[in-house]
Amino acid sequence: MNFVYEKILGGKNGMAALLILSAIILIVFPLFLDAFRLNLVGKYLTYAFAAVSLVLLWGYGGTLSLGQGIFFGLGGYGMAMFLKLEASSPENTAIQSTPGIPDFMDWNQITELPWFWEPFTSFTFTIIAILTIPALFAYIIGAAMFKRRVGGVYFAIITQVIAVILTVLIVGQQGFTGGINGITDLRTLNGWDITSDSAKYLFYYINAGLLLAVIIVSRLILASKFGHLLLAIRDKEDRVRFSGYDVGNFKIFIFCFAALVSAIGGAMFTLQVGFMSPSFVGIVPSIEMVIFAAIGGRMSLIGAVYGTLLINFGKTTFSESFPELWLFLMGGLFIAVVMFFPNGLAGLWNDYGHHITDRLAFIKNAIGKIQKTVFSKKVQEQS
Amino acid sequence: MDGYTYSELGAIFAMQGFAGISLFSVLLLMALGLAIIFGQMGVINMAHGEFMAVGAYTTYFMSTLTETYFPSFLPYYFILSIVVAFLVAGALGYLAEFILIRHLYSRPLDTLLATWGLSLIMQQTFRSVFGAREVSPTLPDWLMGSFQPTEMIDIPINGMFVLGLTFVVTLGVFYLMFKSNWGLRVRATTQNREMSGAVGINTKKVDRYTFSLGCGIAGIAGAAFTTIASTGPTTGTLYIVDTFMVVVFGGAASLFGTIASAFSIAQAQSILEFFISGSMAKVYTLFALVLILMFKPEGLFASKVRR
């Protein structure tokens, strides 16, 4: 029990941070936001999966991936393929020249369902695919790179190139992937309407619950011996290697885990937003995910969630009212976060937060003292 | 490949090869600047594409200016604007190094984020100043038209001009890096910063001028780019990944490697483009590069610099 409290929940402070986050996303948002806004927050929280994965990979592992969009996209497309197949049953698509295949395939003169779409008719397969294919893909990339001791900057650039390849491929192969528009018009999941408000609420809670679970599992990983090794690898890779550890394997593991987490986020994105498109796969979304983690604090799992929420609220508000200013602000944030507060919001809280907590404690003490004196006076008067 | 006669195939290869050479020229000009910044200094400049766009917009600005006030100067302005593009982009690079980059030399991954932020700001500035749609300068007449050695082969003059420009710039960079005193200082600083400082080289000054030179060359690339395509606020982003691939594939610290890899990437892409769609040509080229880099992570020409 003590182990659970100290390691996973992070002692008193970690526990408090987790409880506050849970209270905000599980109680405050659903209470004060309407279904539309809540759905928007749900969408932001799916990006938080990628941001949390980057905290593990980049903040603790020291390996910056500029390709988390790849895995977010793979997860999202996996779910979208299943939903699209369900939406294009022969009855729904009777007007097409080939009924029973997704509409964009019909528009691109494809007359038969491609082989890699076939298994996605099964929901079980889809879930397994979402949980394994991105991680497997990450394994292949990771094994090829980390075993050859490619890291740091080169790894960042190569993951970015892979993100570009995947985007160009998706956009170019319209007939198989829906092209630039992506896979749209997703309505039902096993016959259940996913666009209804009740579905949106349910998905929001599933999403929030999964996110909290991911944070707890990540804490477990970081609290284990593996977590300490990860930090050691980040700080002095050669020394860890000379101590007899196979550094490559540890990096591969954390990269695969990060891919899995991002893919879950992608799948939840598709379920909540109702479509998936290449604009969530390429360079720009991948770098945005890095900035979510950086603003929140690259060393803080919970900070990453706040960072994601803050940037996305900002983006939505600003791009509605001052679209021109948003890019300036975003660019300025990038620069400010690396130059002035490299540990992000969480770092600021750690540096200055104690002023607030100290003051709170001071006020609490003062109230206590006043109560005490008042009470003791009363006692004196009575006696 | 059936249905083509040999002479037709020959002409296709010659023309696509030449289209590849135009791409090669722009890629090489971009990559030379980046090879200096990334290869020599180890700074990941994600805003490099935007410095190219600065060059392109400078050329556009010069062309509008000439057209409005000195129409008689129109045939010559282009040469002048190459110089101005170099100076403007170089000056901006100098400023960026002074304000931003110099604080981040010890944190390469952070320079990536900071320069990405810089590129966002620059993009929005282009959009606010020049508008969101793409612009092209009015090119002088002597750059238009094409050269036809045989009936089937048609080679555009602007492509040849850009090739010549690339040749001159490459020679200049080689001279600066390997023959001049300044180049000696740059290479010394790359190889051992502390020792260079100890023997009296002002390494901070070297850094600043090196970065500025790299950005200036990107500006020249931008001026050359205007002869091939039109410029928009996001033009830089389209080329940045390709440019990084050129530098990484060539072997980061090797200028010869940069030339060889720019040539092979550009040729592979434009010859493939004739037979399959442009997007698939890009996919195959990049995929082949990633595969090769997985087996040979140090690139074509490994650097001899010890880190």
- The confidence score (pLDDT) of residue B307 equals 40
With contacts defined as CB-CB under 8 Å, which chain B residues touch A311? none
Task: For residue B265, give the H/E element and its range.
Answer: helix B255-275
The alpha-carbon gap from A256 to the nearest alpha carbon of chain B, in Å, equals 18
Nearest to B283 among A154, A160, A172 (CB): A172
Q: Could you tell me what percent of chain B has a pLDDT over 90? A: 21
pLDDT value at B303 more than 60: no
Q: Does residue B268 belong to any structural domain of this protein?
A: no
| More confident site: B47 or A13 | B47
**What does the alpha-carbon distance between residue A15 and residue A19 come to, in Å, rounded to a whole number?**
6
Q: Return the DSSP state at B138.
A: P
- Per-domain residue ranges of chain A: 11-342, 348-378
Q: Does residue B190 belong to any structural domain of this protein?
A: yes
pLDDT tens, position by position, B253-298: 678 888 888 888 888 888 888 777 778 888 888 888 888 887 777 7
Tell whether A157 lies on the interface with B, counting CB pairs under 8 A: yes
Residue with tokens 């009015």: B138
Cα(first)–Cα(last) distance of chain B, in Å? 48
Chain B interface, mutation test: which of A65, A158, A340, most B Cβ atoms within 10 Å? A158
Nearest to B124 among A168, A172, A324 (CB): A324
**What does the alpha-carbon distance between residue B15 and residue A188 come to, in Å, rounded to a whole number?**
52
Interface of B with A (CB under 8 A): 42, 44, 100, 103-104, 107-114, 116-121, 123-124, 127-128, 237, 241, 244-245, 248, 277, 279-280, 282-283, 286-287, 289-290, 293-294, 297
pLDDT value at A377 more than 60: yes
Q: What angle is formed at CA A113 by the lines to CA A110 and CA A116, rounded to 5 degrees?
A: 120
pLDDT tens, position by position, A238-249: 899 999 999 999
Which tokens in the block code for residue A306? Answer: 């706040």
Tell whether A160 lies on the interface with B, counting CB pairs under 8 A: yes
CB A289 within 8 A of CB A68: yes
pLDDT tens, position by position, A314-354: 888 887 777 778 888 888 888 888 888 888 888 888 777 77
Q: Does residue B139 belong to any structural domain of this protein?
A: yes
Nearest to B286 among A164, A324, A333 (CB): A164
Q: Does residue B100 belong to any structural domain of this protein?
A: yes
The alpha-carbon gap from A315 to the nearest alpha carbon of chain B, in Å, equals 14
CA dihedral sign of residues B89, B94, B95, B101: positive
Whether A334 sits inside 8 A of B117 (CB atoms) is: yes
Round the average pLDDT of chain A to a whole number and report it: 87
pLDDT band at B149 (very low <50, low <70, confident <90, very high): low
**Closest CA in chain A for residue B110:** A338
**Closest CA in chain B for residue A160:** B241
pLDDT band at A8 (very low <50, low <70, confident <90, very high): low
Chain B interface, mutation test: which of A60, A141, A157, most B Cβ atoms within 10 Å? A157
pLDDT value at B197 more than 50: yes
Which tokens in the block code for residue B204? Answer: 């901070």
- The confidence score (pLDDT) of residue B296 equals 77
Average pLDDT over residues A101-128: 87
**Closest CA in chain B for residue A141:** B294
The number of beta carbons lying within 10 Å of the beta carbon of residue A369 is: 10
pLDDT tens, position by position, B200-257: 888 888 889 999 999 999 999 999 888 888 888 888 888 888 888 888 888 766 788 8
A 274-333: CB under 8 A from B: 283, 287, 290-291, 294, 324, 327-328, 330-333
- The confidence score (pLDDT) of residue A52 equals 95
**What does the alpha-carbon distance between residue B289 and residue B262 come to, in Å, rounded to a whole number?**
12
pLDDT value at A6 more than 70: no
By CB atoms closer than 10 A (0-12, 13-18, 19+), residue B3 is exposed
Chain B interface, mutation test: which of A147, A170, A324, A334, most B Cβ atoms within 10 Å? A334
pTM over 0.80: yes
pLDDT tens, position by position, A163-178: 999 999 998 888 888 8
The number of beta carbons lying within 10 Å of the beta carbon of residue A32 is: 9
Whether A161 sits inside 8 A of B110 (CB atoms) is: no
**What does the alpha-carbon distance between residue B287 and residue B290 come to, in Å, rounded to a whole number?**
5
pLDDT tens, position by position, A267-278: 999 999 988 999
With contacts defined as CB-CB under 8 Å, which chain B residues touch A344? none
The domain in which residue B92 lies consists of 16-239
Number of residues written out for chain A: 383
B56 Cβ neighbours under 8 A, 6+ residues apart: B85, B222, B223, B225, B226, B231, B235
The alpha-carbon gap from A7 to the nearest alpha carbon of chain B, in Å, equals 30
Range with the largest mean pLDDT of A36-50, A141-155, A332-346: A36-50
Q: Return the DSSP state at B105.
A: T
**What does the alpha-carbon distance between residue B287 and residue B282 come to, in Å, rounded to a whole number?**
8
Number of structural domains chain B divides into: 1
Tell whether A170 lies on the interface with B, counting CB pairs under 8 A: no
pLDDT band at A1 (very low <50, low <70, confident <90, very high): low
Cα B280 to Cα A108, A172, B37, B269, B283: the distances in Å are: 17, 7, 30, 9, 5
pLDDT band at A4 (very low <50, low <70, confident <90, very high): low
pLDDT tens, position by position, B9-46: 777 777 777 777 878 888 898 899 888 888 778 888 88
